[in-house]
Structure 1
Amino acid sequence: MGVRLQGFNVFITGGSCGMGYEMAKELLSRGATVVISARGVEKLNKAYEKLKSEGYDVYSIPLDVTNEESVNNAVTWYKEHFDHLDMLVNNAGIGNNAPGMISIKDNKHFYDIPVSTFKSIVETNFNGIFLVSRAFVPIMIEKGKGRIVNVSTSASTMTRKGMIPYGPSKAAMEAMSTILSEELKEFEITVNIICPGGPTDTDMTTEEMKTFFNENDIPILKSNILNKTILFLASPNADGLTGEKIIGKEFNEWLKNRNISFEC
């Protein structure tokens, strides 16, 4: 029958488009209750209305992961509507699509990046994970279990020329995730990292980037690349699994190497 997730509550940041939206839809299709959140209200409302029209048990709330008040308001709202949280997916992120980056030519140097842009990317990709996790984890602790999934990028992107500050911000987030996986074990809360494994068709991939990838025969992954991975991490198959980094493009091989049979 595959994975069924009735009674399983999920909160996803950056859930209005791209991989976040696709993961939300996948989990919803298996019976989960999903709250999607995002900074852009108009896009969030459209995503919510589309999923709701398809009969899914979906909710939405505006959320700026870089703003502590916004995060705390989201938690307050969540606790007014639900009595437990099974999975938190920290998917919100920005990179070369950030204001101040788009106008910089491909041969940019780190000193060409506006300080405000640098801070915005780090605050979203690193600080935001801290703020959201810090606020939602107590809900999981109260129930004695939970799962956190943080969306990252490939290791090569973290240190490749031209990837400041996106790459380093994700590297810092992964280091924090590893620490969290150890700190939260005593509460039966798992923390794992997922990433697509290559350029992906999302809002973070600008038209200029897509042109470059196409001209150089670099395949662009579909935005649903993490669907099977997130479904696995929500399933009983992932009970107790923590401190892992799973690459969506290589997920089937990852399962094989660990002798895990997973029917989605």
Structure 2
Amino acid sequence: MSINLKGFTVLITGGSSGMGFEMAKELLSHGATVVIGARGGPKLDNAYEKLAKEGYDVYAVPLDVRDEESVTNAATWFNEHFNHLDMLINNAGIGTGMESNNPDHQFYDIPVTSFKAIVETNFIGYFLVSRAFVPMMVKNGGGRVVNVSTSTSTMTRRGMIPYGPSRAAAETMSTILSEELHDLGIMVNVICPGGFTETGMTTEAMREFFHQNNLPILTPDVMNKTILFLASPKAEGLTGEKIIGKEFDEWLKSRNISFKD
């Protein structure tokens, strides 16, 4: 194990499945203490049990990123159990309502309830969680925030309302936060997989479309090496970046950075 994250504490939202679960497992396997946050229920319980059985230093906390009270309660719980937070990963997201491959679909066909749910999760949720947890980093003199986003082409592609705009808003907020928090020792970066990825948001219709058109489907561990790098000493001082998981090795090469997971 080349990267030793012993004593490094992480909170990841949407950590009970998909890319969030895989990133949590990667960090745990390198010695980090990881708290997975997700809406309470069997899914969160099962994810925690799977990781705990491996002997990892893992915790679980009910956290609905759309609910301010739930976020506040999770932050209170965290403060009662830990004295520092090294990394916050805003990963929880939904895509329900992005009706995509229907050429007759128009933005005005999207139910308002679906539009609000996506924006509240993918954008406002990032704000609420950061608002609750970043002050812990400020108090301790530093930390790392990683916001999960999507490819720029996805943000602006036909059929991507409101998913694309919700991600674009979160990404713009990340850029602003990277500037505002820089002098406080807090790094803010954005990561995205770099293509269609098998997650809890994937529907059978989406899989069929990609298979029929011979398009690749990325696995949910696509950002594992990226998140490990951002947690490592190698990433100290790095802020305001957007890193694509699928292209991470090329990104390292372009920066002349040597990194082995």
Which TM-score bucket, shorter chain as reference?
over 0.9
Question: Following superposition of structure 1 onto structure 2, how do residues 82-101 of structure 1 map, counting pairs within 5 Å?
Answer: 82-95=82-95, 98=96, 101=97
- 2:144 equivalent in structure 1: 147
The letter for the 1-side match of 2:18 is G
Does residue 159 in structure 1 map to residue 151 in structure 2?
no
Looking at structure 1, the residues matched to 79 and 100 of structure 2 have their Cα atoms a distance apart, in angstroms, of 42
**Contact between 2:35 and 2:59, CA under 8 Å: does it hold in 1?**
yes
Looking at structure 1, the residues matched to 99 and 40 of structure 2 have their Cα atoms a distance apart, in angstroms, of 21
Looking at structure 1, the residues matched to 171 and 100 of structure 2 have their Cα atoms a distance apart, in angstroms, of 27
Inter-CA distance 103–141: structure 2 relative to 1 (3 Å threshold): closer
Deviation at 1:186, TM superposition (A): 1.1
Inter-CA distance 33–153: structure 2 relative to 1 (3 Å threshold): same
Looking at structure 2, the residues matched to 238 and 105 of structure 1 have their Cα atoms a distance apart, in angstroms, of 38
1:2-39 CA deviation, whole Å, 9 max, x = no partner?
A: 11100000000000000000000000000000000112
**Contact between 2:99 and 2:159, CA under 8 Å: does it hold in 1?**
no
Deviation at 1:57, TM superposition (A): 0.5
Q: Structure 2 residue aligned with 1:228, among 215, 218, 225?
A: 225
Question: Following superposition of structure 1 onto structure 2, how do residues 223-262 of structure 1 map, counting pairs within 5 Å?
Answer: 223-262=220-259
SS across alignment from 2:6: coil
Question: Following superposition of structure 1 onto structure 2, how do residues 24-173 of structure 1 map, counting pairs within 5 Å?
Answer: 24-95=24-95, 98=96, 101=97, 106-107=102-103, 108-173=105-170
Listed as ranges, the gaps of 5+ residues in structure 1 are none
Looking at structure 2, the residues matched to 154 and 105 of structure 1 have their Cα atoms a distance apart, in angstroms, of 18
Listed as ranges, the gaps of 5+ residues in structure 2 are none
SS across alignment from 1:44: helix
1:148-183 CA deviation, whole Å, 9 max, x = no partner?
A: 000000000011000000000000110000000000
Inter-CA distance 104–192: structure 2 relative to 1 (3 Å threshold): closer
RMSD of equivalent CA atoms: 1.2
**Contact between 1:63 and 1:71, CA under 8 Å: does it hold in 2?**
yes
Looking at structure 2, the residues matched to 225 and 93 of structure 1 have their Cα atoms a distance apart, in angstroms, of 16
1:164-219 CA deviation, whole Å, 9 max, x = no partner?
A: 00000000110000000000011100000000000001111211001000110110
Looking at structure 2, the residues matched to 142 and 106 of structure 1 have their Cα atoms a distance apart, in angstroms, of 49
The letter for the 1-side match of 2:13 is T
SS across alignment from 1:25: helix
**Contact between 1:104 and 1:112, CA under 8 Å: does it hold in 2?**
no
Looking at structure 1, the residues matched to 122 and 45 of structure 2 have their Cα atoms a distance apart, in angstroms, of 23
Deviation at 1:106, TM superposition (A): 2.6
Inter-CA distance 71–175: structure 2 relative to 1 (3 Å threshold): same
**Percent identical across equivalent pairs?**
70
Looking at structure 2, the residues matched to 216 and 31 of structure 1 have their Cα atoms a distance apart, in angstroms, of 41
Looking at structure 1, the residues matched to 137 and 188 of structure 2 have their Cα atoms a distance apart, in angstroms, of 12
- Give every structure 1 segment of 4 or more consecutive aligned residues whose post-TM-superposition deviation is greater than 2 Å: 101-107
SS across alignment from 1:26: helix
Q: Structure 2 residue aligned with 1:194, among 187, 191, 204?
A: 191
The letter for the 2-side match of 1:83 is N
SS across alignment from 2:123: helix
- 2:8 equivalent in structure 1: 8
Does residue 209 in structure 1 map to residue 232 in structure 2?
no
The letter for the 2-side match of 1:156 is S
Looking at structure 1, the residues matched to 11 and 221 of structure 2 have their Cα atoms a distance apart, in angstroms, of 18
Does residue 175 in structure 1 map to residue 172 in structure 2?
yes
Looking at structure 2, the residues matched to 159 and 103 of structure 1 have their Cα atoms a distance apart, in angstroms, of 14
TM-score for both structures, normalised by structure 1: 0.96
**Contact between 2:29 and 2:56, CA under 8 Å: does it hold in 1?**
yes
1:67-108 CA deviation, whole Å, 9 max, x = no partner?
A: 11000000000000000000000000001xx2xx28897332
